[in-house]
Amino acid sequence: MGNYTGARKTHPTTREYLEFLDERLGFPHGTLCDLCVAAVKTKVEVKEGTTVTYRGMYMRQKRLTNHKIIQVRKTVFLIEFMMTKAGKQYNRVVQIHLEL
């Protein structure tokens, strides 16, 4: 038997996930969420060396535990930023798929 406690953790919301990415990537709180919302309208949004590009939307099917299938709309963003590691500058690109 596994370590099942009987209580499931809930999946993070889109805003919670973007705030988690802000923390991990070293951005001020709420930066990526604001950039993603603005990028949906303008296709590309740039702020303080961070570029967020709206790549579009796609539909996928998701199977629920009661064997029903629902359609889920995913939005794709490309996040480009510079980071320093071991004294060297690196250009990083992260692609994220969000349920909006």
Burial (CB < 10 A; 0-12, 13-18, 19+), residue 84, is exposed
Task: Show the domain range for 23.
Answer: 14-99
Cβ atoms < 10 Å from Cβ of 79: 21
Asked if the model's pLDDT at residue 98 lies above 70, the reply is yes
Please report whether residue 27 resides in a domain.
yes
pLDDT for residue 2? 43
Of residues 24 and 54, the one with the higher pLDDT is 54
pLDDT in tens, 50-88: 889 999 998 988 888 888 888 888 889 998 988 888 888
Please report whether residue 42 resides in a domain.
yes
What does the pLDDT average to over 9-36? 83
Please report whether residue 76 resides in a domain.
yes
Please report whether residue 5 resides in a domain.
no
pLDDT for residue 3? 47
Percent of the chain surpassing pLDDT 70: 90
pTM listed for this prediction:
0.71
Please report whether residue 3 resides in a domain.
no
Provide the 3-class DSSP secondary structure of residue 25: helix
Please report whether residue 8 resides in a domain.
no
Please report whether residue 4 resides in a domain.
no
Number of domains in the chain: 1
Please report whether residue 9 resides in a domain.
no
